[in-house]
């Protein structure tokens, strides 16, 4: 065996503009390299308490329960359902994309009687249709995806929460792609259980699923007749580990908890409003550029139903979907996303989430996409996309990039 059969791991520095993972904030990666602490070391339990307090800020809630479930986003969704649902109970699920289907799949495995409220992929699930399904009575849960990453649709929630409560059901929300990127007003909107993930708008590697639930959900957990059939994902046990009792459950993934703390601290420092505006600004600039390249956005009319952080772009006739993504990756180091199910091969999904949501990334992506599309024979005026995005930034004001700001501050000079 040669000495360098396993050389140093040197992954290429990619620009991650897919539907997740997004680029990790360097300060999150730094925090993750801090020395490990034992999980019951008072210094570590203090970190856990800070994570809970910061989760409350980001979920906009006063809930006692706000902590991360170990595992990726779907571990959080699974923890919520396996802990709340008992076999034979009715669960109404809004389905207009892949993650609505995931809710159905998990609920079915929990033995639920699943009632699907379907909508066309690319549309919201209409509240009237949800009202009809709930009107049949007996639903314990209503599960809805806030940001349907597979289609780029933002589902309005306040009216749906009122419907759930008027039918005595708990509203469980998948906010994996939306938390930290657009408003998720847990208390003001009356959301009972909200689940997120770390690798989308939180700019942290994947591996934790921050979630929160209110007293109504807690009462439902307490009313269970049978033991939760999962030990690892039992919300009641996880909550007593994250609460003052420090019930001995799994070994906390220390480095991930450090990373999440830093990611939440970064959001706290930026401010929720500024962060949501940043996601809106860069998403809108990208969409202006996409339009100027002569490309069409998929679905989501009116614009209020568009996800700010995931832009679904229709693949034009005669253009090779996969070859475009390959060239973006090979020639420009840019990753964008493909699509699933009925949309496979028909759309790309471009994510502008968290640390990835930056002006220089949006501009690079438009330049690269134009170059690659021209090689596919797509006719477009050179520079049209990037010019439209720059015009959007200029019209939005405060359009200097972070780089220009820091160069200006250091006296090196402005970039115009
Ligand atoms: C990414 C995503 C998930 C799945 O999260 P994982 O971390 O991949 O388990 C679930 N729901 C939505 C809306 C997502 O965008």
Low-confidence ranges of the chain (pLDDT < 50): 399, 403-406, 408-409, 411-416
Q: Whose C-alpha lies nearest to ligand 1, atom 6?
A: 73
Q: In the prediction, which pLDDT does 401 show?
A: 52
Instruction: Give residue 106 CA to ligand 1 midpoint distance, Å.
Output: 13
Q: In the prediction, which pLDDT does 312 show?
A: 98
Q: In the prediction, which pLDDT does 2 show?
A: 62
What residue spans of 142-207 are helical by DSSP H?
158-166, 186-189
Instruction: Give residue 14 CA to ligand 1 midpoint distance, Å.
Output: 21
Averaged confidence pLDDT in the chain:
95
Q: In the prediction, which pLDDT does 180 show?
A: 98
**Closest to 175 (Cα-Cα) out of 148, 213, 215, 138:** 148
Helix (H, G, I), strand (E, B) or coil at 155: coil
Q: In the prediction, which pLDDT does 167 show?
A: 98
Q: In the prediction, which pLDDT does 301 show?
A: 81
- The token pair at 135 is 């009107």
| Length of the chain in terms of residues written | 416
Q: In the prediction, which pLDDT does 251 show?
A: 92
Q: In the prediction, which pLDDT does 158 show?
A: 98
Residue 286 CA to residue 335 CA, distance in Å, equals: 15
Phi, psi of 412 (to 5 degrees): -75, -25
Q: Whose C-alpha lies nearest to ligand 1, atom 5?
A: 73
What tens digit of pLDDT does each residue of 328-360 get?
999 999 999 999 999 999 999 999 999 999 999
Q: Residue 129's CB: how many other CB atoms inside 10 A?
A: 14
Ligand 1 environment, Cβ below 6 A: 20, 72-74, 99, 145, 147, 149, 174, 176-177, 197, 200, 206
Return left, alpha or beta for 122; rule: phi > 0 is left, psi -120 to 50 is alpha, else beta: left
Q: Whose C-alpha lies nearest to ligand 1, atom 2?
A: 176
């Amino acid at each position: 065996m040669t000495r360098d059969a396993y050389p140093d791991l040197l992954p290429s520095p990619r620009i991650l503009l897919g539907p997740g993972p997004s680029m990790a904030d360097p300060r999150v990666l730094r925090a993750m390299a801090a020395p490990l602490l034992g999980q019951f070391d008072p210094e570590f339990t203090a970190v856990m308490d800070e994570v809970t307090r910061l989760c409350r800020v980001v979920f906009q809630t006063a809930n006692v329960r706000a902590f991360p479930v170990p595992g990726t986003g779907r571990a959080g969704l699974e923890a919520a359902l396996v802990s709340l649902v008992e076999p034979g109970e009715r669960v109404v699920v809004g389905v207009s994309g892949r993650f609505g289907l995931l809710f159905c799949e998990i609920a079915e495995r929990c033995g639920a009687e699943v009632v699907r409220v379907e909508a066309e992929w690319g549309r919201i699930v209409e509240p009237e249709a949800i009202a009809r399904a709930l009107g049949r009575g007996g639903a314990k849960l209503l599960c809805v995806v806030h940001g349907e990453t597979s289609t780029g649709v933002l589902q309005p929630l306040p009216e749906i929460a009122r419907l759930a409560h008027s039918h005595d059901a708990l509203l469980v929300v998948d906010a994996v792609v939306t938390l930290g990127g657009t408003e998720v007003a847990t208390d003001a909107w009356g959301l009972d259980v909200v689940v997120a993930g770390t690798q989308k708008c939180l700019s942290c590697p994947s591996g934790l699923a921050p979630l929160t639930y209110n007293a109504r959900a807690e009462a439902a957990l307490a009313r269970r007749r049978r033991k939760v059939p999962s030990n690892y994902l039992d919300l009641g046990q996880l909550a007593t580990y994250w609460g003052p009792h420090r019930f001995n459950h799994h070994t906390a993934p220390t480095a991930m908890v450090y990373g999440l703390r830093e990611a939440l601290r970064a959001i706290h420092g930026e401010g929720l409003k500024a962060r949501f505006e940043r996601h809106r600004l860069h998403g809108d600039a990208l969409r202006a550029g996409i339009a100027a390249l002569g490309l069409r956005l998929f679905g989501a009319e009116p614009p209020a139903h568009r996800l700010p952080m995931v832009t679904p772009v229709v693949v034009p006739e005669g253009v090779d979907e996969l070859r475009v993504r390959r060239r973006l990756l090979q020639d420009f180091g840019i990753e964008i996303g493909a699509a699933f199910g009925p949309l496979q091969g028909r759309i790309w999904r471009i994510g502008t989430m968290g640390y990835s949501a930056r002006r220089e990334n949006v501009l690079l992506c438009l330049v690269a996409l134009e170059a690659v599309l021209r090689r596919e024979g797509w006719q477009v005026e050179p520079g049209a996309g990037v010019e439209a995005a720059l015009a959007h930034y200029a019209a939005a004001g405060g359009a200097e990039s972070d780089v220009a700001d820091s160069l200006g501050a250091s006296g090196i000079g402005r970039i115009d």
